[in-house]
Amino acid sequence: MAGPGGPTRPGPGGDKSWRWVLALLVLALIAVVIVPQLLHKSTVTSVSYPEFVRDVHAHKIGSATVDNNTGVITGKLTSGQSYTVNGPSPLTSTELQLLSGIPARYLTPTQSAWATWLPTILLLVFLFGIFMWFSRRAQGQMSGIMSIGRSKAKLYTTERPRTTFSDVAGYNGVKIEISEVVDFLKVPGRFRDVGARIPKGILLVGPPGTGKTLLARAVAGEAGVPFMSVSGSDFMEMFVGVGASRVRDLFQTARKQAPAIIFVDEIDSIGRKRGAGLGGGHDEREQTLNQMLSEMDGFDPTEGVVIIAATNRPDILDPALLRPGRFDRQIVVPLPDLDERLPILRVHCKDKRVGPDVNLELVARGTPGMSGADLANLVNEAALHAVRRGAVQVEMVDFEAARDRVLMGQRRESLVLSDEEKERVAFHEGGHAVLAYVLEHADPVHKVTILPTGMALGVTQQLPIEERHIYPREVIEDSLAVRMGGRAAELIVYGDLSTGASNDLVGNTELARKMVREWGMSAELGPMAWGSQGMVFLGEDLMHSRDYSEDTARVVDAEVAKILREQEQRALELLGRHRGGLDAVARGLLERETLDGQEVGKLVDTAYGAPVHRNGTAKVPTFSPDAHPATPPGPEAG
Q: Kindly state whether residue 141 falls inside one of the protein's structural domains.
A: no
- Reference 268, options 531, 518, 535; nearest CA is 535
281 and 369 within one domain:
no
CATH classification at residue 177: 3.40.50.300
What is the structure's pLDDT at 114?
A: 65
CATH classification at residue 618: 1.20.58.760
d(CA 635, CA 638): 10
- Reference 232, options 325, 155, 311, 173; nearest CA is 311
504 and 450 within one domain:
yes
Using N-to-C axis directions, what is the helix angle for 419-438 and 597-608, rounded to 10°?
A: 80
Q: At residue 170, does pLDDT exceed 60? A: yes
Over residues 368-406, the pLDDT tens digits come to 778 888 888 889 989 998 998 888 888 888 888 888 787
Amino acid letter, 637: A
d(CA 392, CA 378): 18
Split at pLDDT 50, 70, 90, the class of 120 is confident
What is the structure's pLDDT at 510?
A: 92
What is the structure's pLDDT at 312?
A: 83
pTM of the model: 0.62
Greater confidence, 103 or 616?
A: 103
Mean pLDDT of 151-164: 54
- Name the strand (E) or helix (H) holding 294: helix 283-297
Q: How many helices (H) and strands (E) does the chain have?
A: 21, 15
What residues make up the domain containing 385? 338-407
363 and 318 within one domain:
no
Q: Kindly state whether residue 17 falls inside one of the protein's structural domains.
A: no
What is the structure's pLDDT at 311?
A: 86
Q: At residue 306, does pLDDT exceed 90? A: no
- Verify whether residue 524 is a known catalytic residue: no
Q: Kindly state whether residue 243 falls inside one of the protein's structural domains.
A: yes
Domain count, the chain: 4
Q: Which of 292, 311, 332 is the last residue of a domain?
A: 332
CA atoms in the 13 A half-sphere facing the CB of 341: 25
Q: Kindly state whether residue 509 falls inside one of the protein's structural domains.
A: yes
Please report the beta strands in 53-97, taking only residues with DSSP state E, as ranges in sequence order.
61-67, 72-77, 82-86
Range with the largest mean pLDDT of 80-89, 289-298, 434-443: 434-443
Q: Kindly state whether residue 198 falls inside one of the protein's structural domains.
A: yes
d(CA 14, CA 405): 44
The mean predicted confidence, pLDDT, of the chain is: 75
d(CA 558, CA 48): 115
Catalytic residue among 95, 429, 559, 568: 429
What is the structure's pLDDT at 633?
A: 36
386 and 534 within one domain:
no
- Other residues' Cβ atoms within 10 Å of the Cβ of residue 268: 18
Split at pLDDT 50, 70, 90, the class of 185 is confident
CATH classification at residue 89: 3.30.720.210
Greater confidence, 585 or 201?
A: 585
304 and 169 within one domain:
yes
Over residues 506-538, the pLDDT tens digits come to 999 999 999 998 888 888 888 888 865 544 444
194 and 288 within one domain:
yes
Mean pLDDT of 544-563: 83
Chain centroid to Cα 72, Å, comes to: 76
92 and 207 within one domain:
no
Q: Kindly state whether residue 120 falls inside one of the protein's structural domains.
A: no
CATH classification at residue 368: 1.10.8.60
What is the structure's pLDDT at 147?
A: 46
Greater confidence, 437 or 326?
A: 437
Q: At residue 480, does pLDDT exceed 90? A: yes
Q: Kindly state whether residue 127 falls inside one of the protein's structural domains.
A: no
Contact 304, 350 (CB under 8 A): no
d(CA 6, CA 155): 12
**Backbone conformation region of residue 566, classed left if phi is above 0, alpha if psi is from -120 to 50, else beta:** alpha
625 and 535 within one domain:
yes
Contact 207, 312 (CB under 8 A): yes
Over residues 206-263, the pLDDT tens digits come to 888 888 888 877 887 777 777 777 776 666 655 555 667 777 777 777 777 777 788 8
Greater confidence, 390 or 51?
A: 390
423 and 313 within one domain:
no
Over residues 77-97, the pLDDT tens digits come to 777 777 787 777 676 666 666
Q: Kindly state whether residue 288 falls inside one of the protein's structural domains.
A: yes
Q: Which region among 105-114, 322-331, 541-550, 581-590 has the lowest average model confidence (pLDDT)?
A: 541-550
374 and 261 within one domain:
no
424 and 541 within one domain:
yes
Q: At residue 136, does pLDDT exceed 80? A: no
- Reference 367, options 341, 347, 339; nearest CA is 341
Q: Which of 407, 435, 467 is the last residue of a domain?
A: 407
Share of the chain above pLDDT 70, in %: 74
Backbone angles phi, psi at 72, to 5 degrees: -75, 130
Q: At residue 557, does pLDDT exceed 80? A: yes
